[in-house]
Structure 1
Amino acid sequence: MARTEYHDDPNAPKPNSLVVGASAVVTDDQGRILLQRRRDNDLWALPGGGMDMGDSLPGTAVREVKEETGLDVEITGLVDTYTDPRHVIAYSDGEVRRQFNVCFTARVIGGSLAISDESTELCFVGPGELDALPMHNTQRLRLTHYLEQRERPYLG
Protein backbone atom coordinates (compact mmCIF):
# COMPACT_ATOMS: atom_id res chain seq x y z
CA MET A 1 0.00 0.00 0.00
CA ALA A 2 1.41 3.41 -0.98
CA ARG A 3 1.70 6.25 1.50
CA THR A 4 1.99 10.01 0.93
CA GLU A 5 2.84 12.39 3.75
CA TYR A 6 1.78 16.03 3.77
CA HIS A 7 2.85 18.79 6.10
CA ASP A 8 1.34 22.26 6.11
CA ASP A 9 -0.03 21.64 2.60
CA PRO A 10 -3.36 23.34 1.81
CA ASN A 11 -3.95 20.71 -0.90
CA ALA A 12 -3.62 17.78 1.52
CA PRO A 13 -6.70 15.58 1.76
CA LYS A 14 -8.87 15.87 4.87
CA PRO A 15 -8.17 13.26 7.57
CA ASN A 16 -10.72 10.51 8.17
CA SER A 17 -8.93 8.77 11.06
CA LEU A 18 -6.78 9.53 14.09
CA VAL A 19 -4.09 7.02 15.02
CA VAL A 20 -2.13 6.89 18.26
CA GLY A 21 1.37 5.65 17.59
CA ALA A 22 4.86 5.33 19.00
CA SER A 23 8.31 5.45 17.48
CA ALA A 24 11.79 4.92 18.86
CA VAL A 25 15.25 6.34 18.43
CA VAL A 26 17.25 3.14 18.86
CA THR A 27 20.98 3.66 19.23
CA ASP A 28 23.93 1.31 19.23
CA ASP A 29 27.03 1.48 21.43
CA GLN A 30 28.65 3.91 18.95
CA GLY A 31 25.76 6.38 19.16
CA ARG A 32 24.47 5.56 15.69
CA ILE A 33 20.71 5.66 15.11
CA LEU A 34 18.67 2.78 13.65
CA LEU A 35 16.67 3.79 10.58
CA GLN A 36 14.53 1.88 8.13
CA ARG A 37 13.86 2.70 4.50
CA ARG A 38 10.09 2.40 4.25
CA ARG A 39 8.67 0.24 1.48
CA ASP A 40 5.49 2.36 1.18
CA ASN A 41 7.18 5.70 0.39
CA ASP A 42 10.91 4.92 -0.07
CA LEU A 43 11.89 7.38 2.67
CA TRP A 44 14.09 6.78 5.72
CA ALA A 45 12.29 6.77 9.06
CA LEU A 46 12.46 5.69 12.67
CA PRO A 47 10.78 2.37 13.43
CA GLY A 48 7.30 2.82 14.80
CA GLY A 49 3.61 2.37 14.23
CA GLY A 50 0.09 2.36 15.58
CA MET A 51 -0.92 1.33 19.08
CA ASP A 52 -3.11 -1.76 19.51
CA MET A 53 -5.93 -1.79 22.06
CA GLY A 54 -3.93 -3.99 24.47
CA ASP A 55 -0.71 -1.95 24.19
CA SER A 56 0.83 0.84 26.20
CA LEU A 57 2.73 3.51 24.25
CA PRO A 58 6.14 2.20 25.38
CA GLY A 59 4.94 -1.34 24.60
CA THR A 60 3.92 -0.17 21.12
CA ALA A 61 7.40 1.19 20.47
CA VAL A 62 9.02 -2.08 21.64
CA ARG A 63 6.63 -4.20 19.52
CA GLU A 64 7.02 -2.06 16.41
CA VAL A 65 10.82 -2.07 16.62
CA LYS A 66 10.74 -5.88 16.88
CA GLU A 67 8.27 -6.27 13.99
CA GLU A 68 10.08 -3.84 11.69
CA THR A 69 13.75 -4.57 12.51
CA GLY A 70 13.99 -7.91 14.33
CA LEU A 71 15.63 -6.25 17.34
CA ASP A 72 14.50 -6.47 20.95
CA VAL A 73 14.78 -3.14 22.73
CA GLU A 74 14.08 -1.59 26.08
CA ILE A 75 12.78 1.95 26.42
CA THR A 76 15.29 4.30 28.07
CA GLY A 77 13.57 7.67 27.80
CA LEU A 78 11.28 10.07 25.98
CA VAL A 79 12.22 12.24 23.02
CA ASP A 80 8.96 14.18 22.60
CA THR A 81 5.30 14.09 21.57
CA TYR A 82 4.12 14.93 18.06
CA THR A 83 0.50 15.90 17.37
CA ASP A 84 0.76 18.55 14.64
CA PRO A 85 -2.62 18.71 12.85
CA ARG A 86 -0.82 19.98 9.72
CA HIS A 87 0.80 16.54 9.32
CA VAL A 88 -1.49 14.25 7.32
CA ILE A 89 -0.70 10.79 5.95
CA ALA A 90 -2.73 9.46 3.01
CA TYR A 91 -2.76 5.77 2.10
CA SER A 92 -3.74 4.26 -1.23
CA ASP A 93 -6.64 2.37 0.44
CA GLY A 94 -8.41 5.68 1.18
CA GLU A 95 -7.36 6.16 4.80
CA VAL A 96 -6.16 9.71 5.48
CA ARG A 97 -4.68 9.80 8.93
CA ARG A 98 -3.75 12.31 11.54
CA GLN A 99 -1.23 10.77 13.84
CA PHE A 100 -0.49 11.33 17.52
CA ASN A 101 3.03 9.97 18.00
CA VAL A 102 5.13 9.63 21.12
CA CYS A 103 8.81 9.13 20.32
CA PHE A 104 10.96 7.25 22.82
CA THR A 105 14.65 6.44 23.14
CA ALA A 106 15.65 2.80 23.31
CA ARG A 107 18.63 0.48 23.43
CA VAL A 108 19.09 -2.94 21.90
CA ILE A 109 18.92 -5.89 24.31
CA GLY A 110 18.68 -8.76 21.81
CA GLY A 111 17.41 -10.05 18.49
CA SER A 112 18.98 -9.90 15.06
CA LEU A 113 18.62 -7.15 12.48
CA ALA A 114 16.16 -8.34 9.80
CA ILE A 115 14.23 -6.50 7.09
CA SER A 116 10.44 -6.79 7.40
CA ASP A 117 7.75 -6.49 4.77
CA GLU A 118 7.50 -2.79 5.73
CA SER A 119 11.08 -1.87 4.81
CA THR A 120 13.64 -2.30 2.06
CA GLU A 121 16.75 -1.42 4.10
CA LEU A 122 17.85 -1.15 7.72
CA CYS A 123 20.99 0.49 9.01
CA PHE A 124 22.56 2.30 11.91
CA VAL A 125 23.49 5.83 10.83
CA GLY A 126 25.83 8.32 12.45
CA PRO A 127 24.35 11.72 13.31
CA GLY A 128 26.54 13.38 10.67
CA GLU A 129 25.05 11.18 7.94
CA LEU A 130 21.38 12.03 8.58
CA ASP A 131 21.19 15.13 6.39
CA ALA A 132 22.07 13.14 3.27
CA LEU A 133 19.16 10.70 3.68
CA PRO A 134 15.77 11.33 2.08
CA MET A 135 13.17 11.52 4.86
CA HIS A 136 9.99 13.38 5.66
CA ASN A 137 10.51 16.56 7.67
CA THR A 138 8.46 15.17 10.58
CA GLN A 139 10.99 12.34 10.97
CA ARG A 140 13.85 14.80 10.71
CA LEU A 141 12.24 16.90 13.46
CA ARG A 142 12.20 13.91 15.83
CA LEU A 143 15.85 13.20 15.11
CA THR A 144 16.77 16.86 15.61
CA HIS A 145 15.01 16.91 18.96
CA TYR A 146 16.78 13.71 20.00
CA LEU A 147 20.20 15.08 19.01
CA GLU A 148 19.56 18.38 20.82
CA GLN A 149 19.07 16.44 24.10
CA ARG A 150 16.46 18.99 25.10
CA GLU A 151 15.76 19.66 28.76
CA ARG A 152 12.11 20.42 28.10
CA PRO A 153 9.93 18.24 25.91
CA TYR A 154 8.45 19.40 22.63
CA LEU A 155 4.71 19.21 23.03
CA GLY A 156 3.57 19.84 19.48
Structure 2
Amino acid sequence: MKSLDVKVWSVRKRDTKTPSYGVRWSVAGNVFSDSFRTKALADHYRTKLMRAMRDGEEFDTESVLPASMEEKKSAVSWYDFSLRYLAMKRPHAAPNMRDGINESLASVTVENLDDRPGRRRVDSQGAAQLGFLASGACGARSSERREERPSLGVQSVLTPR
Protein backbone atom coordinates (compact mmCIF):
# COMPACT_ATOMS: atom_id res chain seq x y z
CA MET A 1 0.00 0.00 0.00
CA LYS A 2 1.23 3.49 -0.82
CA SER A 3 0.82 6.66 1.20
CA LEU A 4 1.49 10.37 0.80
CA ASP A 5 1.08 10.97 4.55
CA VAL A 6 4.78 11.39 5.35
CA LYS A 7 6.56 13.48 7.98
CA VAL A 8 10.33 13.79 8.43
CA TRP A 9 11.97 15.08 11.60
CA SER A 10 15.38 16.70 11.94
CA VAL A 11 18.58 14.74 12.55
CA ARG A 12 19.26 14.13 16.22
CA LYS A 13 22.34 12.97 18.06
CA ARG A 14 21.85 9.76 19.98
CA ASP A 15 23.34 9.29 23.41
CA THR A 16 25.38 6.16 22.87
CA LYS A 17 28.93 5.10 23.66
CA THR A 18 29.97 5.63 20.06
CA PRO A 19 28.48 8.75 18.51
CA SER A 20 25.58 8.11 16.15
CA TYR A 21 22.88 10.20 14.59
CA GLY A 22 19.28 9.27 13.97
CA VAL A 23 16.74 10.14 11.30
CA ARG A 24 13.06 9.72 12.12
CA TRP A 25 10.14 9.77 9.74
CA SER A 26 6.56 8.58 9.71
CA VAL A 27 4.53 6.97 6.95
CA ALA A 28 0.76 6.75 7.38
CA GLY A 29 1.10 7.48 11.10
CA ASN A 30 3.75 4.81 11.83
CA VAL A 31 7.11 6.13 13.02
CA PHE A 32 10.39 4.71 11.70
CA SER A 33 14.02 5.53 12.31
CA ASP A 34 17.48 4.74 11.05
CA SER A 35 20.86 5.45 12.61
CA PHE A 36 24.09 6.59 10.99
CA ARG A 37 27.69 6.90 12.09
CA THR A 38 28.12 10.56 11.11
CA LYS A 39 25.84 13.54 11.01
CA ALA A 40 26.62 14.07 7.32
CA LEU A 41 25.37 10.57 6.42
CA ALA A 42 22.20 11.07 8.45
CA ASP A 43 21.60 14.47 6.89
CA HIS A 44 22.10 13.06 3.39
CA TYR A 45 19.55 10.29 4.07
CA ARG A 46 17.10 12.84 5.48
CA THR A 47 17.60 15.00 2.39
CA LYS A 48 16.75 12.08 0.11
CA LEU A 49 13.56 11.45 2.11
CA MET A 50 12.65 15.13 1.94
CA ARG A 51 13.32 15.30 -1.81
CA ALA A 52 11.06 12.30 -2.44
CA MET A 53 8.37 13.82 -0.25
CA ARG A 54 8.66 17.20 -1.99
CA ASP A 55 8.49 15.56 -5.45
CA GLY A 56 5.20 13.89 -4.50
CA GLU A 57 6.48 10.31 -4.47
CA GLU A 58 4.32 7.84 -2.64
CA PHE A 59 5.97 5.94 0.21
CA ASP A 60 5.39 2.22 0.47
CA THR A 61 3.91 1.35 3.87
CA GLU A 62 5.76 -2.00 3.99
CA SER A 63 9.25 -0.91 2.97
CA VAL A 64 8.60 2.61 4.40
CA LEU A 65 10.61 4.11 1.55
CA PRO A 66 9.73 5.84 -1.72
CA ALA A 67 10.24 3.93 -4.96
CA SER A 68 13.37 5.97 -5.75
CA MET A 69 15.09 4.69 -2.58
CA GLU A 70 14.04 1.04 -2.70
CA GLU A 71 16.72 -1.47 -3.63
CA LYS A 72 16.38 -2.98 -7.06
CA LYS A 73 16.73 -6.74 -7.51
CA SER A 74 19.72 -7.88 -9.46
CA ALA A 75 19.02 -9.07 -12.99
CA VAL A 76 22.12 -11.27 -12.95
CA SER A 77 21.71 -14.86 -11.76
CA TRP A 78 24.17 -16.31 -9.27
CA TYR A 79 25.52 -18.68 -11.90
CA ASP A 80 26.25 -15.86 -14.36
CA PHE A 81 27.79 -13.79 -11.58
CA SER A 82 30.03 -16.72 -10.64
CA LEU A 83 31.16 -17.14 -14.23
CA ARG A 84 31.95 -13.43 -14.55
CA TYR A 85 33.87 -13.50 -11.28
CA LEU A 86 35.88 -16.50 -12.42
CA ALA A 87 36.58 -14.90 -15.80
CA MET A 88 37.98 -11.89 -13.96
CA LYS A 89 40.08 -13.80 -11.39
CA ARG A 90 41.12 -16.92 -13.26
CA PRO A 91 43.59 -15.59 -15.86
CA HIS A 92 45.83 -14.13 -13.16
CA ALA A 93 45.58 -16.92 -10.58
CA ALA A 94 47.97 -19.81 -10.00
CA PRO A 95 46.59 -23.34 -10.59
CA ASN A 96 46.07 -24.11 -6.89
CA MET A 97 44.39 -20.75 -6.42
CA ARG A 98 42.03 -21.56 -9.31
CA ASP A 99 41.03 -24.80 -7.64
CA GLY A 100 40.43 -22.92 -4.39
CA ILE A 101 38.26 -20.33 -6.11
CA ASN A 102 36.19 -23.05 -7.83
CA GLU A 103 35.70 -24.98 -4.59
CA SER A 104 34.82 -21.82 -2.66
CA LEU A 105 32.21 -20.71 -5.18
CA ALA A 106 30.71 -24.20 -5.33
CA SER A 107 30.44 -24.46 -1.54
CA VAL A 108 29.05 -20.93 -1.18
CA THR A 109 26.49 -21.72 -3.87
CA VAL A 110 25.36 -24.84 -2.07
CA GLU A 111 25.18 -23.10 1.32
CA ASN A 112 23.38 -19.96 0.16
CA LEU A 113 20.86 -21.50 -2.21
CA ASP A 114 20.21 -24.86 -0.57
CA ASP A 115 17.36 -24.03 1.80
CA ARG A 116 15.12 -21.94 -0.39
CA PRO A 117 11.55 -23.21 -0.51
CA GLY A 118 10.48 -24.84 -3.74
CA ARG A 119 14.01 -25.55 -4.90
CA ARG A 120 15.76 -28.87 -5.21
CA ARG A 121 18.86 -29.67 -3.17
CA VAL A 122 22.22 -29.63 -4.88
CA ASP A 123 24.13 -32.75 -3.93
CA SER A 124 27.88 -33.18 -4.05
CA GLN A 125 27.64 -34.27 -7.68
CA GLY A 126 25.86 -31.02 -8.55
CA ALA A 127 28.49 -28.99 -6.71
CA ALA A 128 31.23 -30.86 -8.54
CA GLN A 129 29.47 -30.20 -11.83
CA LEU A 130 29.26 -26.52 -10.98
CA GLY A 131 32.98 -26.44 -10.29
CA PHE A 132 33.70 -28.27 -13.54
CA LEU A 133 31.49 -25.94 -15.57
CA ALA A 134 33.06 -22.92 -13.95
CA SER A 135 36.57 -24.11 -14.68
CA GLY A 136 35.72 -24.89 -18.30
CA ALA A 137 33.59 -21.85 -18.93
CA CYS A 138 36.37 -19.51 -17.89
CA GLY A 139 39.31 -20.67 -19.96
CA ALA A 140 42.36 -18.49 -20.40
CA ARG A 141 41.08 -17.21 -23.74
CA SER A 142 37.52 -16.32 -24.58
CA SER A 143 37.71 -18.62 -27.63
CA GLU A 144 38.27 -21.60 -25.29
CA ARG A 145 35.16 -20.98 -23.20
CA ARG A 146 32.53 -23.68 -23.15
CA GLU A 147 28.93 -22.76 -23.62
CA GLU A 148 27.66 -25.57 -21.39
CA ARG A 149 24.89 -25.05 -18.88
CA PRO A 150 24.40 -26.86 -15.59
CA SER A 151 22.12 -29.88 -15.26
CA LEU A 152 18.44 -29.36 -14.45
CA GLY A 153 19.04 -30.03 -10.75
CA VAL A 154 21.70 -27.36 -10.53
CA GLN A 155 19.73 -24.98 -12.76
CA SER A 156 16.67 -25.20 -10.52
CA VAL A 157 18.78 -23.97 -7.61
CA LEU A 158 20.79 -21.33 -9.45
CA THR A 159 18.09 -19.55 -11.44
CA PRO A 160 15.83 -17.01 -9.74
CA ARG A 161 12.09 -17.63 -9.74
Report the structure, 1 or 2, having the larger helix content: 2
Report the structure, 1 or 2, having the larger strand content: 1
Q: Give the alignment's TM-score, normalised by structure 2.
A: 0.23
Structure number with higher relative contact order (C-alpha < 8 Å, ≥ 6 residues apart): 1
| Larger Rg computed on CA atoms | 2
